[in-house]
Amino acid sequence: MPDDSRLLAVMVIGAVITFGLRTIPFAAIAPMRRSPVVQHLSLAMPAGVLTILAIYFLRDIDLTDARSGGPQIVGLLVAVGLWRWRGDVSLAIVASTATYMLVVNLVPGLHT
Amino acid sequence: MILGLVNSTLALMEMTPAEAVRGGVQDTLPFALAIVAFGAAFGLHVTESGFAWWWAPAFGIFVFAGSLEFLLVDLALGGASLATVALTSLLVNSRHAFYALSHPLHRVRGRRARAYAMYAMTDDSYALTTGRPPEDMPGSRVLAVSAAVQAWWVAGGLLGALGGAALGDIEGAEFALTATFVILALQACRTAPDRVAPIIGLVCGLLAVVLVPAQALLVGSGALVLILTLMFLRGSTHA
């Protein structure tokens, strides 16, 4: 039997901690905003963090299994190819996702 | 003199608030379908767990933290202690602490607007706004990106909770998240000041995914901050 008061307590704790994790670091670095090391990190970090996020989203690609890995490789080739060719982020995302969805839903044996 | 002229011309060309808001919403459009699909899966998870539909938008509005929201519902259902809930929330979202170092929050004007931008800082809004020049990503556009991402997420939750299984599983839409983060990473590497941070990020990311899969983002970005800081401090004492 689901318990609403329990879920409310869980939601409030999750919300407070998440909010704290998103706000306290900003307050902590505010006085150091002009320090050389924070200035350096603010410029150097984006490319590094985005690389880590990209690897994180790529982690489940199974290169040994053509049925699960294949559509993702095709989608990524379309994404990177379009981005390099046209330099348009939106186009690359939309076209590669459409390609991926078509491959997964239309090629027999791939639909899970 | 000439530089001053160029700077003031640039200031004149700064986008209007309306343009910034439109631009911010447009930034989120390409992967809106992925956010809506992920949100719908969450909405479905809420109702399939036996809770009322309105819990889905409530979580999207008050917690607004994709994967943690799934875990919170499971923890509530499984009767986990509130200490476990707190620890899980801390572990899953600690990575956000490192985003503060390179999030363009300082461009957002006004106390309430700033509070909202912090509250709504997710992987998605961080990735779409970080590392872009101020004339391209002013504070109002940062706010618009955050609000649009949250609106897509809440809408998805409502769809999944009310529409049920028919809408809760759009096969393949989740690929937009992968494509977005890969393209944004390539874009950021192209405009990065040098190749150092991308290479360290690559090594930290790969090691973290292999060695600590459950905490890969936290450990990977923590290691990145540590290494970049140490390298900078060493470099500045040598110079």
The predicted model gives A25-47 an average pLDDT of 90
Contacts of A93 in chain B (CB under 8 A): 30-31, 176, 179-180, 183
CA B42 to chain centre: 17
In this prediction, residue B113 has a pLDDT band, given cuts at 50, 70 and 90, of very high
* Residue from A43, A29, A49, A104 nearest B222 by CA: A49
Instruction: Give the integer Cα–Cα distance in Å for A70 and B103.
Output: 35
Q: Give every CB contact of residue A99 below 8 A, 6+ residues apart in sequence.
A: A74, A75, A78
| pLDDT(B88) > 60 | yes
Where is A1: in which H helix or E strand?
A: none
**Of A22, A29, A93, Cβ closest to residue B101:** A29
Q: Which amino acid is at A52?
A: I
In this prediction, residue A111 has a pLDDT band, given cuts at 50, 70 and 90, of low
ipTM for this model: 0.89
**Of A11, A43, A76, Cβ closest to residue B58:** A11
The answer to whether A10 faces chain B, any CB pair under 8 Å, is yes
B131 conformational bin, left if phi > 0, alpha if psi -120 to 50, beta if neither? left
**Residues B191-219: tens digit of each pLDDT:** 888 899 999 999 999 999 999 988 888 99
The predicted model gives B29-49 an average pLDDT of 89
Of A38-47, A61-70, B73-82, B151-160, where does mean pLDDT reach its minimum?
A: A61-70
The predicted model gives A15-39 an average pLDDT of 92
* Residue from B186, B209, B156, B228 nearest A41 by CA: B228
| pLDDT(B173) > 90 | no
Whether the Cβ atoms of residue B149 and residue B122 lie closer than 8 Å to each other: yes
pTM of the prediction?
A: 0.83
Instruction: Give the integer Cα–Cα distance in Å for B109 and B89.
Output: 29
CA of B118 vs chain A CAs: smallest distance (Å): 6
The answer to whether B77 faces chain A, any CB pair under 8 Å, is yes
Of B142-151, B155-164, B200-209, where does mean pLDDT reach its minimum?
A: B155-164
Helix-helix angle A4-29:B111-119, to 10 degrees: 120
Whether the Cβ atoms of residue B15 and residue B139 lie closer than 8 Å to each other: no
Which A residues, 20 through 39, put their C-beta within 8 Å of a C-beta on chain B?
21-26, 28-29, 33, 36-38
**Of B63, B97, B228, Cβ closest to residue A48:** B228
* Residue from A98, A57, A58 nearest B171 by CA: A98
* Residue from B199, B195, B198, B221 nearest B208 by CA: B221
Q: Which amino acid is at A15?
A: A
A26, A42, A50, best to mutate vs chain B, most B CBs in 10 Å: A50
